[in-house]
A and B are shown apart, each in its own frame.
Chain A
Amino acid sequence: MVHQYQLGGYHIVLDTYSGSVHAVDEVAYDMIALYQTESRENLTRRILEKYNDRPDVTAEDVAECLADIDSLVAAGKLFSTRQDATATADLLQDRPVVIKALCLHVAHTCNLNCDYCFASQGKYKGERALMDFETGKRALDFLVENSGTRRNLEVDFFGGEPLMNFEVVKQLVVYARSIEKEKKKNFRFTLTTNGVLLDDEVIDFANREMHNVVLSLDGRKEVHDRHRVDYQGRGSYDLVVPKFQRFVQKRTNGTYYMRGTYTHENTDFTNDIFHMADLGFTELSMEPVVCSPDDPCALTKEDLPVLFRQYEILAEEMLRRKKEGRPFTFYHYMLDLSHGPCIYKRISGCGSGTEYLAVTPSGELYPCHQFVGDKAYLLGDIWHGIQNTALRDKFKNCNVFSHKQCRDCWANMYCSGGCAANAYHATGDITGVYEYGCELFKKRIECAIMLKVAESELEAGGA
Chain B
Amino acid sequence: KRIKTLETRDLKECCTGVANQPCE
Residues of A within 8 A of B (CB): 17-25, 27-28, 65, 68-69, 72, 76-77, 84-85, 101, 103, 118, 150-152, 156, 259, 285, 287-288, 290, 331-343, 345-346, 349-352, 356, 368-370, 413-416, 418-419, 422, 441, 445, 452-453, 456
Contact = CB atoms under 8 A, between A and B. Distances in A.
A27 B18 contact: no
Interface of B: 1-24
Contacts of B16: 118, 287-288, 290, 370, 419, 422
Given A19-B9, A20-B8, A65 B19 contact: no
B9 A338 contact: yes
A19 B5 CA distance: 11
Given A28-B3, A337-B7, A342-B23, A441 B17 contact: yes
Contact of A18 (B1, B10, B20, B23): B10
Contacts of B8: 18-21, 337-338
Contact of B12 (A21, A343, A441): A343
B11 A65 contact: no
Given A68-B2, A346-B11, A456-B4, 12 more contacts: A20-B6, A20-B8, A22-B5, A22-B6, A28-B2, A65-B2, A103-B14, A334-B20, A335-B20, A340-B11, A340-B21, A414-B18
Contact of A346 (B6, B14, B18, B24): B18
Contacts of A118: 16
A341 B18 contact: yes
30 contacts: A17-B11, A17-B12, A19-B8, A20-B6, A20-B8, A22-B6, A68-B3, A72-B3, A85-B12, A103-B14, A151-B13, A287-B16, A336-B19, A336-B20, A337-B7, A337-B8, A337-B9, A338-B7, A339-B23, A340-B19, A341-B22, A343-B12, A368-B14, A414-B17, A414-B18, A415-B17, A416-B18, A441-B17, A456-B4, A456-B6
Nearest to A87: B12
